[in-house]
Amino acid sequence: MSNVNLNYKDKPSLFTWDGLGDIQEGRSNLGDDMPVLIYRLFQYSLRDILRREFNEDVAAELYRAAGYLAGTEFARHVLDLSGDFDYFVTNLQKQLTNLKMGILRIEKADIENSTFTLTMSEDLDCSGLPVTDETVCDYDEGFLAGILEAYTGKPFAVKEIDCWASGDRTCRFTAQGA
């Protein structure tokens, strides 16, 4: 996490799940799939503008904030949060795979201390990127933090420790609950 202090959690969100619209109605011919290339075109062009307008730390924190909001809403609207931890993880893995967002694995889970190590392979954000010796999955950090908070009811700090862009072939995250 950076030293940037954006108070997005203290401000009301204008985002609504319904604001995503009726994709089936609006894309009756093209459907709901699109190439990862187009997702990344949006993501990395926006990141470039944020870096130029602000700086790298602010851009990263804004991506985490957007990921957090998306993860929270994704958990509330797509996941079944009513089961035990094993059920939750199985459901999360299934949804992420079905939606072609990535392949999630839990490497370590200390449920009592709310500490986890997770990997995401074939993810939307970076799998296949050139190696730049940096981690780039700030959005995923926020996304996973939002999902974990929605399930547990407590905030999580999620940090990417390995990334395709840093030379690894899977993204690895640590998650620590407050």
Residue 23 parent element (H or E): helix 23-26
Q: Please give the Cα distance from 147 to 104 (Å, whole number).
A: 13
Residue 138: domain span: 33-177
> Which CATH number do you get for residue 172?
3.30.1380.20
The CA–CA distances, whole Å, from 128 to 94, 119, 122, 163, 175 equal 22, 16, 8, 10, 24
Specify the pLDDT at position 5: 67
- Who's near 76: CB < 8 A, 6+ residues apart? 17, 150
Number of domains in the chain: 1
**β-strand pairing of 115-121 with 156-162:** unpaired
Specify the pLDDT at position 9: 74
Flag whether 25 is in a domain.
no
Tokens of residue 111, six digits: 């449920």
Give the pLDDT band of residue 2 (cuts 50, 70, 90). very low
Flag whether 26 is in a domain.
no
What digits encode the pLDDT tens for the residues 50-86? Answer: 999 999 999 999 999 999 999 999 999 999 999 999 9
Specify whether the CB–CB gap between 65 and 142 falls below 8 A. Answer: yes
Flag whether 82 is in a domain.
yes
